[in-house]
Amino acid sequence: MEHKNYESWDIKRRCIIQKLRLAISEKDKLKGVYIKKYFFHCLNRKKNGTFIKIKLMGISFVNLNLGVKYGNEIITNILKQIKEIKPESIITKISGTNLCIYIEETKVEHVKDFIEKIFRITRNVSTSVSNVKISANIASITYKDDDFDVRDAVNKVDLSMFNAIRKGSNKYEIYNEMYESHINIRNIEKSIENNEITLYYQPKVDVKSGNIEGVEALIRWFSKDYGYITPDKLIGFAEHSGYIYKLGKWILKKTCIDIKELNKNLNKKLSLSVNISPYQLEHEEFLDEIKDIIEEVGFEQELLQLEITESKNIESIKDIQLILKEIRNTGIRVSIDDFGKGYNSIDYIKNYDVDEIKIDKSIVKYIGNNPLFIESLINMVHTTNTSVVAEGVEEKFEYEELQKMGCNLIQGYYCYRPMELKKLLELTKEA
């Protein structure tokens, strides 16, 4: 019995010594940083906290130009500074350009604060290679109720990283409950490939001639697994996750191809209106990318119109007036969507040069109560040489009233519902 106890004590002792040795020997050459294996070994015992992944961009250029040693020095320096701002953090370098950090923090605001501090560090790195800057993308996940699971964390953080990278350089993404939903980037991309996500077109009718002047592209997601997912949900997710930029480019390209073919085959000149999220406008390369797409497709830019929703978001975009001006300078038209739904509608007429104003359907519904109000609104917009579209026109009397009031274009179920391209082709062929 005694012998057995002694034996088990000895095994325990040897285990402890081995672990201590492992802890000391397995620290990376980069000071204070554990090697991957030991880092994950430590995390296995954690109950809650935050797992953070940092992807450094630009290090590979440094390695190529000045050697791996210099690249490593940069990383060491970054790690040293991270340790200084959070000495209790556990850090590892999991590959040449990827770092992982564990912190005990569970408050989102504090995590964000820490991430911002990391960006401050990476932004200030000097590389000694001309024109090469270090940038980073950061993804994180927080576990609060004793449910920390390191494997789960690694998978989920990779998914968030995917989104962080799509948002652009020096952007971060915190894993949130939206990821648990079936509305996620993988499903969206799969659905685009399977044609479960597609674009419908709703005609805009010229009130004077009764002809179809153009169409508005509206995204549709008919999922085999989850049924119809509304554009609001899809676009809302895309905006929240940063995926809107990529999705927006796909929408623009697809719709330009569709309508170019239609115009070519039917010898028409239908205009194409595409909805643009304020988040897309904020992207530095937005206009250049649009120009590239138009050129690649060979779409007549005078026929393209970007619909921008009147919202608080758009006002918060710095230089919004300049962006709109630049768009219009290229020949592309700008339309203000959902006019009257927001707060500062009059400001748009006063301050922004746009080509079209779309009166929101909630205002159109008001026509029965106060037709004079709508008429004054149309007249006011016309004083700035801007065209007026009425949205959501469902009734004959609404159409007729708007016609009398001098509204330029009508869009709504009374004329046409949004339809797939095939139907639009048949419809416009007959006209």
The answer to whether the beta carbons of residues 226 and 266 sit under 8 Å apart is: no
CB under 6 A: which stretch of 25-33, 102-110, 226-234, 282-290 binds ligand C2E? 226-234
Residue 134 or residue 393: which is nearer to ligand C2E going by CB?
A: 393
Please give the residues from 301 up to 320 whose contact with Ca ion meets the rule CB under 5 A. 307
338 binds ligand C2E (CB under 6 A): yes
For ligand C2E, the closer of residues 99 and 389 by Cβ is: 389
Distance from C-alpha of 275 to C-alpha of 251, rounded to nearest angstrom: 9
DSSP E strand stretches across 159-258: 171-174, 197-206, 212-223, 227-229
Q: Which is nearer to ligand C2E, 139 or 388 (CB)?
A: 388
Residue 277 or residue 387: which is nearer to ligand C2E going by CB? Answer: 277
Name the E strands within 104-232.
135-143, 171-174, 197-206, 212-223, 227-229
341 touches 374 (CB < 8 A): no
Q: Per CB under 6 A, which region of 1-9, 83-91, 138-146, 388-396 contacts ligand C2E?
A: 388-396
Query: At a CB cut-off of 8 Å and minimum separation 6, what does 25 contact?
Result: none
**Residue 185: partners with Cβ closer than 8 Å, 6 or more residues away:** 159, 162, 163, 166, 241, 243
Site for ligand C2E contains 231 (CB under 6 A):
yes
Q: Which is nearer to ligand C2E, 93 or 253 (CB)?
A: 253
User: Dihedrals φ, ψ of 219, to 5°?
Assistant: -75, 145
Q: How far is the CB of 274 from ligand C2E (least distance, A)?
A: 7
Q: Which stretch binds ligand C2E (CB under 6 A): 30-38, 62-70, 213-221, 295-303?
A: 213-221
* Residue 77 to residue 92: CA distance in whole angstroms: 14
Could you give the CA distance from residue 31 to residue 11 in angstroms, rounded to a whole number?
31
Q: Show contacts with Ca ion in window 365-404 (CB under 5 A).
A: 391
Instruction: Give yes or no for residue 356 binding Ca ion (CB under 5 A).
Output: no
Verify binding: residue 388, ligand C2E, rule CB under 6 A.
no
The entry of Ca ion, ligand C2E, none near residue 413 (CB within 5 to 8 angstroms by kind) is: ligand C2E
How near is the Cβ of 408 to ligand C2E at its closest, in Å?
17
Cα–Cα distance measured from residue 282 to residue 277, given in angstroms and rounded to the nearest whole number? 9
- The residue among 272 and 276 lying less far from ligand C2E, judged by its C-beta, is 276
- Binding-residue pattern over the window 163 to 202 for Ca ion, x denoting contact by CB under 5 A: ----------------------------------------
Size of the site for ligand C2E (CB under 6 A): 23
Give the residue, chosen from 31, 116, 413, 431, that forms a contact with ligand C2E under the rule CB under 6 A: 413
306 binds ligand C2E (CB under 6 A): no
CB 205 within 8 A of CB 391: no
Among 337, 356, 398, 401, binds Ca ion (CB under 5 A): 337
Q: Counting contacts by CB under 6 A, is residue 196 touching ligand C2E?
A: no
Length of the chain measured in residues = 431
The mark string for 261-300 relative to Ca ion (x by CB under 5 A, - otherwise) is --------------x-------------------------
Q: Which stretch binds ligand C2E (CB under 6 A): 76-84, 146-154, 283-291, 411-419?
A: 411-419
Residue 161 CB, nearest approach to ligand C2E (Å): 24
235 contributes a contact to ligand C2E by CB under 6 A: yes
Q: How far apart, in whole angstroms, are the C-alpha atoms of residue 68 and residue 71? A: 5
Cα–Cα dist 61/213, whole Å: 51
Which contacts (CB < 8 Å, 24+ apart) does range 133-136 have?
133/58, 134/56, 134/57, 134/58, 134/59, 134/62, 134/74, 134/78, 135/56, 135/57, 135/58, 135/169, 135/170, 136/54, 136/55, 136/56, 136/57, 136/169, 136/170
Give the strands of the sheet with 98-103, arranged side by side. 90-95, 98-103, 49-57, 135-143, 171-174
Give, as ranges, the residues between 114 and 143 that touch ligand C2E (CB under 6 A). Answer: none
Q: How many CB atoms lie under 10 A from the CB of residue 403?
A: 14
Residue 392 binding partner per list ligand C2E, Ca ion, none, with a CB distance cut-off of 5 to 8 Å that depends on partner kind: ligand C2E
> Taking a C-beta distance cutoff of 8 angstroms, is the pair 290, 252 a contact?
yes
The Cα angle at residue 51 between residues 49 and 54, in degrees rounded to 5: 150
Contact residues: Ca ion, CB under 5 A = 275, 307, 337-338, 391
Q: Give me the residues that bind ligand C2E (CB under 6 A), please.
A: 202, 217-219, 230-232, 235, 251, 275-277, 307, 309, 337-338, 361, 392-394, 412-413, 418
